[in-house]
Amino acid sequence: MINAKTIREIFLRFSKANPKPTTELVYHNNFELLIAVILSARATDKSVNKATRELFAAANTPEKIQALGVKGLKEYIKTIGLYASKAKNIIATCNILIEQYHSKVPHDREALESLPGVGRKTANVVLNTCFGEPTIAVDTHIFRVANRIGLAKAKTPLEVEKQLLKIIPDEFKHDAHHWLILHGRYVCTARKPHCPTCLIRDLCEYKDKTPGDNHVHK
C-alpha cells in the first residue's frame, strides 16, 4: 500500500479539484435521500433521478409513499432494476419510520440497518450525507479504485471501508466517499480508465509503462 505522504497528496488534489463534493442523487430532505439510495442499488443515479423526479413530486414523505401502497409505488419506479422488491422494502420502511421514528430518518446506524432494503452501504451514505459523519460507503467504484490505486488491499467492501478509515487523514474523511465514487465513475473506470487525464496518475500504485503514457493503470 502507498505511504501516508502519498495518501495525503491524493486527497489534497481531490479537495482542490472539487472542494465540496456530494452525491449525484437528487434529493431535498433526509427521507428523499434514504429512498433514493435504496433505489440506487444495482441502478444508476441517472435512472433513479429520472424516477424520483415524478415520485417525489407526488409523494415525498413516509405517509404519502405509504398511501401509494406497493402497487402504486411500482408505477413510479418500474424503470429501475429490482423495482418489485424495492417497492416492498420501501413501503415496509415507511411503515417503520411512521410507527417507530415519528416519520424521521434515524441518526443511528443500527436503526438504519434495521430498515428493509437498508444495508451497511446505504446506512453509510445516509450517515455521511445527511448527518455529516465521516463514513465511507464502499460501492463497486470505491472498491475498485481503492484496490487499484493502492489505498487498500482487501477482498470485501467492509475490509476496504475499515482500511480507508484507518489511512485517510481526518480532515478528508467526510468527503473521501464522494471523491472516490466520482473518480471511479468518471476517471478510474472499470474498463479503459482515463489515465492520461487522471489528476493522481503519478501517485497511483498500479501503472504500466506504455508509449505515450508512463502512468497507465493495469
Give burial (CB, 10 Å; 0-12/13-18/19+) of 181. buried
* Residues 73, 92 within the same domain: yes
Give percent of the chain above pLDDT 70: 94
Catalytic residue among 74, 88, 139, 207: 139
Pair (44, 14) in one structural domain: no
73 with 36, same domain: the answer is yes
> What grid cell was written down for 105?
430518518
Those residues whose C-beta lies under 8 Å from the C-beta of residue 90, and which sit 6 or more positions away, are 35, 38, 39, 65, 73, 116, 117
Same domain (yes/no): 12, 49? no
Q: Which of 210-217's residues contact partners 24+ apart within 8 Å by CB, and which partners?
A: 217/148, 217/149, 217/188, 217/193
Is 112 in the same domain as 159?
Answer: no
Domain boundary among 81, 96, 129: 129
If asked whether residues 165 and 110 sit together in one domain, one would say no
Report CA Rg, the chain.
19
Confidence of residue 205 (pLDDT cuts 50, 70, 90): confident
Q: Specify whether 139 is catalytic.
A: yes
| pLDDT score recorded for residue 197 | 92
Last residue of a domain, which of 101, 129, 157? 129
Q: Looking at residue 212, what DSSP letter applies?
A: T
- Nearest-angstrom CA–CA distance, 97 and 180: 31
Q: 208 forms bridges with which residues in the sheet? A: 216
Which of 79, 114, 129 is at the close of a domain? 129
Which contiguous run of DSSP H or E holds residue 192?
A: none
> Is 69 in the same domain as 147?
no
Q: Tell me, yes or no, whether 212 and 168 share the same domain.
A: yes
Question: Whole-model pTM?
Answer: 0.89
- Number of domains composing the chain: 2
Which of these is catalytic: 88, 121, 166, 192?
Answer: 121
Residue 107: give the domain boundaries. 30-129
Q: Are residues 105 and 140 in the same domain?
A: no
Interval 131-185: pLDDT, tens: 999 999 999 999 999 999 999 999 999 999 999 999 999 999 999 999 999 999 9
CATH at residue 164 = 1.10.1670.10
pLDDT, averaged across the chain: 93
Q: What is the CATH number of the domain that holds 60?
A: 1.10.340.30
Question: What digits encode the pLDDT tens for the residues 12-33?
Answer: 999 999 999 999 999 999 999 9
